[in-house]
Amino acid sequence: MQNRPRTDDATNQRPWRLVGPVVVGAAGLNLWALWRISEYERLFLPMLLLALVMVGNGFVMIRIRVRSTNIGTSPTTAIMTVAAALLPAPPLILGTVCGKLLYLLTRRDVDPVKASFNVAKETLCASAATFAATAAGIHPMLLEPHSSFLDVIPGMFAGFLAYTLSDEIISQALFALVTHTSYRQRLAVQASTQVVPRLGLFAVALATIAAYHISEWLLLVLPPLVYAIHLAAANQVRTRQGNEAWQRLAEATDEFNSVDQTAVLYAAVRRAADIFSTDEAEVEIHPPTGGARLVRSNGTQILFDGAPEDAPTAEGFLIPVALESYRGDADLGELRLRWRGHSPVRFTEREQYTLRTFTAALCTAIRNAATFAETQRLADSHARAAAQDPLTRLANRRRLQQHGDEILAAGSGAGVVGVVLIDLNHFKEVNDTLGHAEGDRVLIAVAERLTAAARPGDLVARFGGDEFAVILAGLSAPALAELRAQTMLNALTPPIALDDMRISVEASCGVTTGSGGTIGELLRRADVALYQAKQEGQRIVVYAQSRDTADVGSLTLGGDLARALAEQQFTVHFQPIVDLASGRVIAAEALTRWHHPDRGYLPPDRFLGAIERSGQLAAFADAVLDQALIAVIEWGDAGYPVPVAVNVSPRSLLDPSFPDAVARRLGARGVPSSALVIELTESVTLSKLEVVDDVLAALRDLGIRLALDDFGTGFSSLATLARVPVDELKIDRSFVAAMEASAPGAVVRSTIDLSRSLDLLVVAEGVEREDQRQQLWELGCPAGQGHLFARAMPADRMLAALDRGEGHLAAPLHDTGAVIRMSRSRRARRMSMGGEPQGRERST
């Protein structure tokens, strides 16, 4: 198989430094062949037949376009290998040259430079083949027949090798100059793709000579066979090209699945240059709003991004394609494919179809990105306008919550914060009797009276419908909230004049106060009080915790937190994390329990919510971390350097001071940061707030390892893993327990494989049985924790357990250094589960 690059006479760098020597060298060889041809008069007919074969070879050539250069593929290698065995050098060279010239004369688009180079290159390659064959000891069979077919094989192989190497070296050198690509890289690519087809043609050449030894008439059968083989190779090339093109097109459309316009345009120009083999590709769009935009790329980097009139001038052959909808009724812009030089580039039918598909996908992506951008713009505009109620001009619910959070964040300096929730009684009757227009007038009047009754610093908001809320800031005592609420209700007592009517307005009110927590909790409490006022027919009800049936237990726990921290009622137990193969303890997870004086031991899910709402989270986290570090010191002093993993609350990652608090605690106890692992839940890491990223980065900078707990239970586990720089993954116990089922088993296997590829430690939670341990180890999971090894225990009990087992909590699966050959049934099961291939050995 032969590659013939056809040069472009208008490239930025004309490759004369290669074309000149090739033409001069070939001219010298042709003159030598003409001088010696008289010695081989009886070989004129075979030389003429060789010329005719070369003419026919040109007509069966397969042409492949790469950028603006065409590469021809034909069975020339087999022809030259056979000719080197049959003919001496002079008739072989002249027959090849004559055949090439005759074929080029039949072409209408012959370029003198291209024709000269192609003829000269073929002369050099043919000469290399015949000289190499002669040097290897072969004698031209038409002059001196060989007694055995085996005698000619070494010489034929030498000729084949010389022709192949010279053809590739010259062709790829010129092609690298024309396309401005790496010469070494091009040779490597060609070597990987051309070895098998070239060897196939060498086999055809051997078959030809073998047939010649049997009977000269058998040669008549070989041309159709060679042509059939060549057509099969051609179809394979076209199929491979088509598959590669569709693969690249699929990758491009995947990149178009973005709502960011810049990402879509950058992907479009890069992918277009690659898919359609262009020197440059550019997209110019004309959005409905804003100016036009042009993006240009050479396939590897973005050359320009800005207004079209500012783009540098680009020259070359251009194929423009309008970006229209599938109906052709909306011109979005234009995709332009550009090649250096001005020689026309013609697309095949497959390339034309690929281009239509590509532009259709690009149009959709651009429209989607534009729609999303407009939606975002409208959303931002609405968000800015959303802080105000359009009817009453009061703050709305969103502004109320924002203002409340700001006041509560100010802490004790803002004093006591009160929330008053007011609901108009029987307002529906006003709307039903007088109509909604008159009802709106009543709401406006109520808003004006509440605003007038409020004091500076208070915020009056329409909470929704006929419900209003007031945030009272800077109260010196909680009792003042009820008095202020009474003042506001009194402001609503005078009748409201509506034309010739006077409407009396009655209202109910719920009041609560606080100096911590969240505004959402205060509003909930005010709503509880308002509901009680409505039920009991009272004007004002002040929130009472004892009457809050919704969350009395949680609120009671919240009130006990300060004392619990002071009296060290929170204790930390530790569950070992074990190397599955050896049974050795490699880490421990800290699990907090609250030893409540009245309710006994409480698990974290019973009190973490109360802690997060109480403002005691930082003190709680510090106490838990301190106990964990003390345990690490005790174990280390006993000769067991076991790291400890500590879970953190989602709210801790929203606190910028959290990394400094951890660093201070590590320094105070003298524990290295490598002995601490921070475990994150997916609900935490799903947050895309910058403060979370900053806190995680600060923890990593301290040298603390991060682990992602309960991996696979979140709805975007992979997205989380791509964004958060974790060191460990923990498989949730629910998947381990149901590992025999297909879906959970697939999650376990994929998580282990993913961890291996990302070089992460993977720990399986909830290992309860020995068969689970064995199965996890066979799948490649290195570590696990669960009741099979130990339940959570105090630090001293864990130290005793370590002493009993000398650092081990389970017997090793196999003897140290043993090589395990899995049974045939076990190997078959591992293959069905996606494990290691049969015959794989594993040592522990």
Supply φ then ψ for residue 305, to 5 degrees. Answer: -150, 110
| 3-state class percentages of the chain: helix first, strand second, coil last, to nearest 5 | 55, 20, 25
Cross-strand bridge partners of residue 65? 70
How many whole angstroms separate alpha carbon 21 and alpha carbon 8? 18
**Of 332 and 791, more confident:** 791
How many whole angstroms separate alpha carbon 711 and alpha carbon 728? 10
Q: What sign has the CA pseudo-torsion 423, 425, 427, 428? A: positive
**Of 342 and 310, more confident:** 310
361, 250 in Cβ contact below 8 A?
Answer: no
Q: pLDDT at residue 530 above 50?
A: yes
**Of 382 and 683, more confident:** 382
Tokens of 203: 């086999």
pLDDT grade, residue 677 (50/70/90)? very high
Q: What is the pLDDT of residue 257?
A: 83
631, 644 in Cβ contact below 8 A?
Answer: yes
How many whole angstroms separate alpha carbon 575 and alpha carbon 764? 13
Residue range 556-571, pLDDT digits in tens:
566 677 778 888 888 8
How many whole angstroms separate alpha carbon 810 and alpha carbon 768? 13
Residue ranges covered by each domain of the chain = 2-220, 246-382, 397-550, 568-811, 814-844
**Top-ranked range on mean pLDDT: pick from 388-397, 485-494, 604-613:** 485-494
- Residues in contact with 396: Cβ distance below 8 Å, sequence separation at least 6, in sequence order: 386, 387, 388, 389, 461, 462
**Of 727 and 836, more confident:** 727
Shared fold status for 2-220 and 568-811 = no
Fill in the DSSP letter of residue 172: H
Fill in the DSSP letter of residue 25: H
Q: pLDDT at residue 245 above 90?
A: no
How many whole angstroms separate alpha carbon 669 and alpha carbon 542? 47
How many whole angstroms separate alpha carbon 815 and alpha carbon 583? 12
- Residues in contact with 254: Cβ distance below 8 Å, sequence separation at least 6, in sequence order: none
**Of 843 and 450, more confident:** 450
2-220 classified as CATH 1.10.287.3510: no
Q: Which residue from 591, 612, 618, 613 is spatially nearest to 602, judged by alpha carbons?
A: 591
Strand stretches in 307-431, DSSP E: 317-324, 331-339, 416-424
Q: What is the pLDDT of residue 365?
A: 86
Residue range 760-795, pLDDT digits in tens:
999 999 999 999 999 999 889 999 999 999 999 999
Instruction: Tell me the percentage of the chain whose pLDDT exceeds 70.
Output: 79
* CA 604 to mean position of chain CA atoms: 35
460, 468 in Cβ contact below 8 A?
Answer: yes
**Of 1 and 553, more confident:** 553
Q: State which amino acid sits at residue 637.
A: D
* Mean of the per-residue pLDDT values of the chain: 80
Q: What is the pLDDT of residue 575?
A: 95
**Of 585 and 215, more confident:** 585
How many whole angstroms separate alpha carbon 166 and alpha carbon 36? 24
**Of 555 and 19, more confident:** 19
Q: 423-437, 516-530, 820-834: which range is least confident on average?
A: 820-834
How many whole angstroms separate alpha carbon 721 and alpha carbon 632? 28
Q: pLDDT at residue 344 above 80?
A: no
- Residues in contact with 299: Cβ distance below 8 Å, sequence separation at least 6, in sequence order: 270, 273, 274, 278, 280, 281
Tokens of 145: 């027949």
Q: What is the pLDDT of residue 407?
A: 85
How many whole angstroms separate alpha carbon 26 and alpha carbon 381? 74
Instruction: Please compute, for residue 30, the number of CA atoms within 13 A of its CA located in the half-sphere on the CB side.
Output: 17
Q: Which residue from 502, 306, 507 is spatially nearest to 426, judged by alpha carbons?
A: 507
Across 711-721, average pLDDT: 61
* Class of domain 397-550 (CATH, top level): alpha beta
**Of 638 and 82, more confident:** 638
575, 588 in Cβ contact below 8 A?
Answer: yes
Q: Which residue from 805, 562, 587, 799 is spatially nearest to 707, judged by alpha carbons?
A: 587
Q: Which residue from 265, 278, 342, 340 is spatially nearest to 304, judged by alpha carbons?
A: 265
593, 570 in Cβ contact below 8 A?
Answer: yes
Instruction: Please compute, for residue 364, the number of CA atoms within 13 A of its CA located in the half-sphere on the CB side.
Output: 12
How many whole angstroms separate alpha carbon 807 and alpha carbon 805? 5
Instruction: Tell me the percentage of the chain whose pLDDT exceeds 90.
Output: 22
Q: Which residue from 489, 1, 386, 419 is spatially nearest to 205, judged by alpha carbons?
A: 1
Tokens of 757: 């590829």
Q: What is the pLDDT of residue 492?
A: 92
798, 770 in Cβ contact below 8 A?
Answer: no
Tokens of 440: 């709106």
Other beta carbons within 10 Å of 71: 17
Q: Which residue from 662, 661, 685 is spatially nearest to 675, judged by alpha carbons?
A: 662
Tokens of 509: 């009110």
Q: pLDDT at residue 342 above 70?
A: no
Q: What is the pLDDT of residue 552?
A: 45
pLDDT grade, residue 827 (50/70/90)? very low
pLDDT grade, residue 672 (50/70/90)? very high
* CA 641 to mean position of chain CA atoms: 37
- Residues in contact with 683: Cβ distance below 8 Å, sequence separation at least 6, in sequence order: 650, 714
Q: Supply angle C-alpha 144, 147, 151, rounded to 5.
A: 90
Residue range 261-306, pLDDT digits in tens:
888 899 888 888 888 878 889 999 887 777 889 999 888 889 999 9
- Residues in contact with 454: Cβ distance below 8 Å, sequence separation at least 6, in sequence order: 460, 470, 488
Q: What is the pLDDT of residue 819?
A: 59
299, 339 in Cβ contact below 8 A?
Answer: no
- CATH for the stretch 246-382: 3.30.450.40
Q: Which residue from 76, 209, 56, 225 is spatially nearest to 142, judged by alpha carbons?
A: 209
Across 459-479, average pLDDT: 89
Domain 568-811: CATH superfamily, name plus number: EAL domain (3.20.20.450)
Q: 127-131, 612-616, 667-671, 814-818: which range is least confident on average?
A: 814-818
319, 337 in Cβ contact below 8 A?
Answer: yes
Supply φ then ψ for residue 472, to 5 degrees. Answer: -100, 115
Tokens of 796: 């001293």
720, 685 in Cβ contact below 8 A?
Answer: yes
How many whole angstroms separate alpha carbon 767 and alpha carbon 751? 16
Q: pLDDT at residue 826 above 80?
A: no
Count the residues in the chain.
844
SS3 84: helix
Between the CA of residue 605 and those of 106, 377, 384, 567, 735, what are the distances in Å? 86, 41, 38, 21, 21
Q: What is the pLDDT of residue 180?
A: 62
Fill in the DSSP letter of residue 539: S
The residue assigned the tokens 């791509």 is 722
Q: State which amino acid sits at residue 721.
A: L
Across 731-735, average pLDDT: 86
Phi-psi region of 310 (alpha: psi -120 to 50; beta: other; left: phi over 0): alpha
681, 709 in Cβ contact below 8 A?
Answer: yes
Q: What is the pLDDT of residue 798?
A: 93
Fill in the DSSP letter of residue 780: T
Q: State which amino acid sits at residue 481.
A: A
Q: For the chain, how big is the Rg over CA atoms in Å?
A: 41
Q: Which residue from 488, 508, 372, 485 is spatially nearest to 427, judged by alpha carbons?
A: 508
Residue range 24-77, pLDDT digits in tens:
888 899 899 889 888 888 888 888 888 888 887 777 665 555 444 455 566 788
Q: pLDDT at residue 313 above 90?
A: no
Q: What is the pLDDT of residue 228?
A: 66
Q: 61-65, 135-139, 366-370, 543-547: which range is least confident on average?
A: 61-65
Tokens of 270: 């890069």
Q: What is the pLDDT of residue 613?
A: 61
Tokens of 432: 């039903």
Tokens of 814: 């196999």
Fill in the DSSP letter of residue 455: -
How many whole angstroms separate alpha carbon 464 and alpha carbon 397? 7
How many whole angstroms separate alpha carbon 564 and alpha carbon 559? 10
